Structure 1
Amino acid sequence: MATYALWYFKPQNGNYATFETNVPTSDLGDLGFDYMIALHALGKDGEYGQMPMGGYSYDDGYNDGKGLAQWLEQEVNPQLPYLVEIPVLVKDDKEQWILFKNSNYTIKPAVRGLDYWRGWIDGVYTHTGGLQRGFYWNLEFAWQVVREVVYEEDISTLSDKIMDWGQQFIWIPSTHGDISWEHTDIKTLSKYFTYIFAQSNYYQEKTTDLGAWFSSFKNFRDSNHLNNLFMEMECDGRVQTGDEEHNIPPETFIHRACDYVQYAKNYPHRAYYYGTNIKNLIIVKSHCPDYIG
């Protein structure tokens, strides 16, 4: 079994910073994680700023990737094998997705482009040590090729490059609610990724019936022989604080996080969203010991 913790950092004024509640990374290894995936947090209304972007060229991508790699190696010093995000979009904001939907998917979110992404992965790979084991495609939109936000051949090119190095390539698409799995990009893109982890967003209540979601997930997985498709587990700080605004106690969120175990237990690999506080994982695991692989 391989377990992946989504480890968030925050971009700040052209550089990066950790969340104090998300270090040391050795705590993730102590909890039983095999890998961490380093990716940037958006923050509420973009409060953490945007990922640095020097331009659209290969050299721009290389230098930006180099900058993150050096920060990870020198300032974070990960204590377990890790993967690094590939920033897909130029900017992170909700408005561009609202505009995309309202324009009948004609006004697309701006992406950094293949030249930039090729430079980025070279910059990261060249300036990290032996614990860097791969990359994470940081675009959750499950229809990104169908809607022509990105192109399949670009993902194929990056996949070939990453896997030629013997590294992993991971994707975690958002699949909440009563979606039509067959109309997503998951089946088409599965051959380019080492693993895909579907996020139900049940914890966030975007999926109301986890059992029904899992049934459709399993049927889609089995009928298409997608042996590299697995589930994401989810929790956040509400397992500690509850939702004070709506008077919902922490126990409700702990129970919701634990609900995933009965469905994920039969699959050998899992990814974990847990917010930005490692203690969230400790609390959930104390209530359902099988939560982490």
Structure 2
Amino acid sequence: MSKFGLWWVRWDNGVYISRMTLGGRVPTSYDEVAHWFKSRGFDRVVFIGNQGENIGYTGNGYEDGRYLALWIMSHISSIKYYVTIPFSRYGSKKLRDDPSEGFANSYWKDWIDGVLSVFDSNRLGFYWSYESCLQATPHDEANVTEEFIREMSRYIHNHGQEFIWIPATGSGTSARGVSYLNDPDYDGIPKIGGYFDYVFVQPNYYEYSKVDEEGNPHLPYTYEKLVEKIRWICEELPKKINNPNTTVSIEMEADRTVLGIHCTSPRDCPEGMNCDSNIHTCYEHCRDYHPQKAINYALDYVRALKDIDWKPSDLAYYFSTDFKVIDTLQEQCWRELNEPYV
């Protein structure tokens, strides 16, 4: 059973830096970050940069990919990993290329070639950073087609590498996804999921209190809906993907809201967080800014897996950039549910 952790990096003045901390403490080395992952049960990491917005961009896919690959290879030597394929440009939501023009002559093929030019036995494969489940549907504004994903998958697999995806599925607006994964007009996961070795579906329950379902917007995203959704991912999605080589699972979701960091204004909060002045607490993306409620929403994923009696062979974990999030949830999970969070 493999546990995949997200290792957030950022392009900063011509170099890459790791964004990971432990209780706000910056590590002394990148190998220390790898140790933080491994000591908490993670055996694989995914180098990620917010769909590409934190990944360097010159317009030359080969050189951009090679630069990140060289940085990883020269800094991290003690953990298996996947490298991102950045979708958006650095500092922008503009795309790095036009997917409708096909994969063969795209920036993304050049990026993959650049990464592959650097040999690293710790690299297991690639992560497709475009999260939208609308891909290969009529509602994908980026025009990513099934053919594009199929060709990218074939190219990666022909080079002996794995290919993984962590699609988002729910939010407060239908433009970002849908809650219920049974409408081919809005859910492309069954259509393209089989081109990946791992598909970790984001339930997005931790973030959103409302869902859109079969044309009904703003329904309450209840715990019962979470159980229903995870059951569908467990029982129905593998049948629709119909590829025995694709592992289907979920992403466990939490962030620094669970830490209850005190604040009186936004300047008191760590980078990427805001201050709720009513409760004097820093928050990130959770649907509720109270730390104990955020913890409860995060642990609902564990409860839902228990309720449907599903023990996935592999899990991915989003926990923002601070390992104290994992430590907090690990302690609470043992206390409340008598089992580990990771």
Aligning the two structures, in what range does the TM-score lie when normalised by the shorter sequence? 0.7 to 0.9
Tell whether the 8 Å contact from 1:190 to 1:228 is kept in structure 2 after alignment.
Answer: no
Inter-partner Cα distance in structure 2 for 1:287 and 1:13: 39
Aligned-partner SS, 2:21:
helix
RMSD over aligned Cα atoms = 2.5
Change (3 A) 1:285 1:262: same
Q: In structure 1, which of residues 45, 54, 58 is the aligned counterpart of residue 58 of structure 2?
A: 54
State how 1:245-264 maps to structure 2 within 5 Å.
245-247=277-279, 248-264=289-305
Q: Give the Å deviation of 1:49.
A: 6.4
Q: How does 1:140-155 map to 2 (within 5 A)?
A: 140-146=131-137, 147=140, 149-155=143-149
- The residue that corresponds to 2:82 in the other structure is 83
Letter in 1 for 2:148: D
From 120, 123, 138, the equivalent of 2:114 is 123
4+ residue runs of structure 1 moved beyond 3 angstroms?
90-93, 242-246, 289-293
Equivalent residue number for residue 102 of structure 1: none
**Residue 105 of structure 1: aligned partner:** none
Contact 1:33/1:292, CA 8 A, preserved across alignment = no
155-164 or 132-141, larger mean C-alpha shift = 155-164
- Cα distance change on mapping 1:268 and 1:168 into 2, 3 Å: same
Whole-angstrom CA distance in 1 between matches of 2:112 and 2:53: 22
- Which residue of structure 2 aligns with residue 229 of structure 1? 248
Equivalent of 1:213, from 214, 226, 247? 226
Larger radius of gyration: 2
| Bigger fraction of residues in helix | 1
Segment drifting more, 30-39 vs 165-174: 165-174
Q: Does 1:29 align with 2:42?
A: no
Point out where structure 1 has 5 or more consecutive residues left out of the alignment. 43-47, 97-108
CA distance in 2, matches of 1:6, 1:246: 31
Q: Which residue, 190, 194, 216 being the options, matches 1:191? A: 194
What letter matches 2:188 in structure 1? D
Q: Deviations over 1:48-90 (max 9, x none)?
A: 96532222xxxx2111001011111223x15211101101123
Contact 2:200–2:249 at 8 Å: present in 1 too? Answer: yes
Alignment of 1:39-50 (within 5 A): 39-41=48-50, 50=54
- Residues in 1 aligned to 2:126 and 2:341: alpha-carbon distance in whole angstroms: 22
Change beyond 3 A, Cα 1:180–1:137: same
The question of whether the paired residues in 2 share the 8 Å contact of 1:80 and 1:131 is answered with: yes
Q: Does 1:273 align with 2:318?
A: yes
Q: Percent identity?
A: 28
Tell me how far 1:277 sits from its aligned partner. Answer: 0.9
Looking at structure 1, the residues matched to 304 and 123 of structure 2 have their Cα atoms a distance apart, in angstroms, of 30
TM-score by structure 2 length?
Answer: 0.71
What count of residue pairs does the alignment treat as equivalent? 269
